[in-house]
Amino acid sequence: MAKTSVQQTQLEPAVQGEAASARFGRGLALGFGAYLIWGSFPIIISLVGFANPAEVVVWRIVFGFSLAVVLITFSRGWPAVMHVIRTPKQLVWVMVATVFIMANWQAYVIGVATHQVVETALGYFINPLVTIALAVIFLGERLRITQWLAVGSGLAAVVVLTVDYGRLPVIALTLAFSFGIYGLAKSKLGGVVKPLHGFALESGFLLPVAAAELIWVATVGGGVQFGEHGLGSALVLAGFGFLTAVPLILFGSAARHLPLRVIGFMQYLTPTIQFILALVYFHEPMPAVRWVGFALVWSALAILSFDMLRQGRARSKG
């Protein structure tokens, strides 16, 4: 009996390590899936350029919520959703996530619709730096010297690009901070609120806002365009709403399995795709000064990547 007990004790750390490794791998797969889908969004938004950006966001909310309702109904998840509503600590973070994902959606659609895809890409390049800063401020994480250098390089990039644009890169900063705080809220909800339930609540809370925006579009925003350009255009608007739910649910799932800093590192993929699309597909200009600003951002991300790899090797040796 004693020998069996010792063997079990020796096996427990190995089993726990395998479970942690499996969770980490699952989180990486979910996160990469989310960022790949997000990277393709500029092309989808360009297909619905006939509609006011506010209307695009409206249908994004409505059809995203509709998909969430169907999925929750089939999975019999409504008791869990009601539990979140009755739990103030969880509900507060859901409301925080709701406010900032709405700000993110509005800024993103406006940026793409007004042919500023380069700036939207910049926002998501800056986002990992914001995410790391938020981890320090709100989660008490401590940065190493290399990470501080990366954050400093990111700040220098914002200054350079402000000079280039002749203004603060408002869309980029709005995207970076809104999604950074959204990620923080999701991290706070961690393994408690399932991603699908969180998304349903967020989009459900936004339905009154969507209704108000639709009234504004109908009266002074150029008129509602849904269905006015044939079935195909209506399906694209609806499809964008349905597709919105998928990466957010994947992202929420990834946040349950990965540390916040790792989520920040993974965010390079989406802006890289968007940046390439901005140059190749949308043919947006890139003056020399703008290249310098982006080079500073990429240097910051390279420093962070190097630091992450070095720390990973150190842990594996330990």
pLDDT at residue 134, rounded to an integer = 82
How far is residue 236 from each of residues 44, 60, 148, measured CA to CA in Å? 8, 11, 43
How far is residue 158 from each of residues 87, 151, 173, 227, 273, measured CA to CA in Å? 40, 11, 9, 41, 21
Whether 42 is in a domain gets the answer: yes
Each of the 318 residues of the chain gets a pLDDT tens digit; together they read 555 555 555 555 555 566 667 777 788 888 888 888 888 899 988 888 888 999 999 999 999 999 999 999 998 999 999 999 999 989 999 999 999 999 999 999 999 999 999 999 999 888 878 887 887 777 777 777 888 888 888 889 888 998 888 898 999 999 999 988 988 888 887 668 888 888 899 999 999 999 999 999 999 888 999 888 888 888 888 988 888 888 877 877 887 777 766 776 676 788 888 999 999 999 999 999 999 999 998 998 888 777 766 766 655 565
- Ordered alpha helix ranges (H), the chain: 2-39, 41-47, 53-75, 78-85, 88-113, 117-139, 145-165, 170-189, 195-205, 207-219, 231-257, 260-266, 269-280, 288-317
Instruction: Provide the number of structural domains found in the chain.
Output: 1
pLDDT at residue 17, rounded to an integer = 60
Whether 164 is in a domain gets the answer: no
Q: How far apart are CA 50 and CA 40, in angstroms?
A: 19
Give the domain extent around 103: 26-139+169-285
Whether 148 is in a domain gets the answer: no
Cβ(102)–Cβ(206) below 8 Å: yes
Whether 189 is in a domain gets the answer: yes
Cβ(130)–Cβ(183) below 8 Å: no
Whether 291 is in a domain gets the answer: no
Whether 150 is in a domain gets the answer: no
pLDDT at residue 11, rounded to an integer = 52
Look at the chain and count its residues. Answer: 318
Whether 274 is in a domain gets the answer: yes
pLDDT at residue 109, rounded to an integer = 93
Whether 119 is in a domain gets the answer: yes
pLDDT at residue 55, rounded to an integer = 92
